Amino acid sequence: MTASSVNHARSLLFVPATKPERFAKALDSGADCIIIDLEDAVAEGSKDGAREQLAQHLPQLTADQRARTVVRINAAGTPWHEADLALLRQWTGQGVAVMLPKSEEPAALHGVAQVLGEGANIVALVESLAGLDALDLIARVPQVVRLAFGHLDFQLDLGMRASVEEPELAFARNALVAASRRARMPAPIDGVTTDTGSAERLAADARRARAFGFGGKLCIHPAQVAGVNEALGYSEAEQAWALRVLEEAARRGGEVFSLDGRMVDLPVIRAAEAIAASIRK
């Protein structure tokens, strides 16, 4: 079975399933993962055709490309949900991950996991108060490897009109980060920046995501990828520090030790492992 890269992806770039000619360009954009979208980016009358196009192009992806591919399917209860799952059942064991929008009911996620199999990697996209209230249950579904925040639909659900800096959404972002930590899964993925023409807005949103404890961010334009990677990545100094910590930890056999005048215990080692995982990816 091929492993998926979604677990530690910083940048995840959406591309419509109706535009297969863009798949390769998206994969070459520098994004850690692409999200082929069968949901919001596809009109109702084009759903079946988009799925057929995806079925034709998935075999053309290499193993490495499949490991960097996520497919956002249509939500549970929609007319297209079961057909989406039927298509992806043969690909989740080859590295392709699945994003479930409108994640609210743990039972729906268990149903997706049952169809896709034990090796599936599922990203639960939380877009409503019901999803927020069920975060801990959603995060406990074994095949759910990451949580993501659909902050635009979340605002619609609650009748919110968040300001540019979005302090109104702090409670929800804190909840996603905390639930991910309790479930011992990678840091969650923050929502999109809709202003694709402002590098400053993107940088501010990415810095906010990092400050809250998010580890990734959704992108809707290739020009956003580099800024997200920079804001959510690690500097060369941080990478070098992490490798030194892990090397010394291995030599010490689990003992607490001091490095550069700083005590290194298990939480510090876990932080170094997260940085090292991003390097390997």
Q: Mean of the pLDDT values across residues 107-113?
A: 97
Is 127 known to sit in a ligand binding site?
yes
Contact criterion met (CB below 8 Å) for 209 and 189: no
- pLDDT at site 281: 54
With both helix axes pointing from N to C terminus, report the angle between 199-212 and 170-182 in degrees, rounded to the nearest 10. 50
Three-state DSSP string of the chain: CCCCCHHHCCEEEEEECCCHHHHHHHHCCCCCEEEEECCCCCCHHHHHHHHHHHHHHHHHCCHHHHHCEEEECCCCCCCCHHHHHHHHCCCHHHCCEEEECCCCCHHHHHHHHHHHCCCCCEEEEECCHHHHHCHHHHHCCCCEEEEEECHHHHHHHHCCCCCCCCHHHHHHHHHHHHHHHHCCCCCCEECCCCCCCCHHHHHHHHHHHHHHCCCEEEECCHHHHHHHHHHHCCCHHHHHHHHHHHHHHHHHCCCCEEECCEEECHHHHHHHHHHHHHHHC
Give the number of other CB atoms < 10 A from CB of residue 106. 17
Is 247 known to sit in a ligand binding site?
no
Task: Tell me the average pLDDT of the chain.
Answer: 94
* Phi, then psi, of 237 in degrees rounded to 5: -65, -40
Q: Mean of the pLDDT values across residues 81-89?
A: 97
Can you tell me the distance from the alpha carbon of 153 to that of 274, in angstroms, rounded to the nearest whole number?
A: 30
Share of the chain above pLDDT 90, in %: 86
Question: What's the CATH code, domain 6-232?
Answer: 3.20.20.60
- pLDDT at site 204: 97
pLDDT higher than threshold 60 for residue 264: yes
pLDDT higher than threshold 50 for residue 247: yes
pLDDT higher than threshold 80 for residue 115: yes
Name the residue with higher pLDDT: 275 or 103: 103
Q: Mean of the pLDDT values across residues 142-166?
A: 97
Is 153 known to sit in a ligand binding site?
yes
Can you tell me the distance from the alpha carbon of 257 to that of 173, in angstroms, rounded to the nearest whole number?
A: 34
Boundaries of every domain in the chain: 6-232, 236-280
Q: Mean of the pLDDT values across residues 9-14?
A: 96
Give the number of other CB atoms < 10 A from CB of residue 263. 9
Q: Mean of the pLDDT values across residues 136-143?
A: 96
pLDDT higher than threshold 70 for residue 226: yes
Model confidence band, residue 1 (pLDDT cutoffs 50, 70, 90): very low
Q: Which of 1-10, 77-86, 96-105 has the lowest mean pLDDT?
A: 1-10
* β-bridge mates for residue 100, sequence order: 124
Q: Which of 23-27, 40-44, 124-128, 252-256 has the lowest mean pLDDT?
A: 252-256
First to last CA, the chain: 17
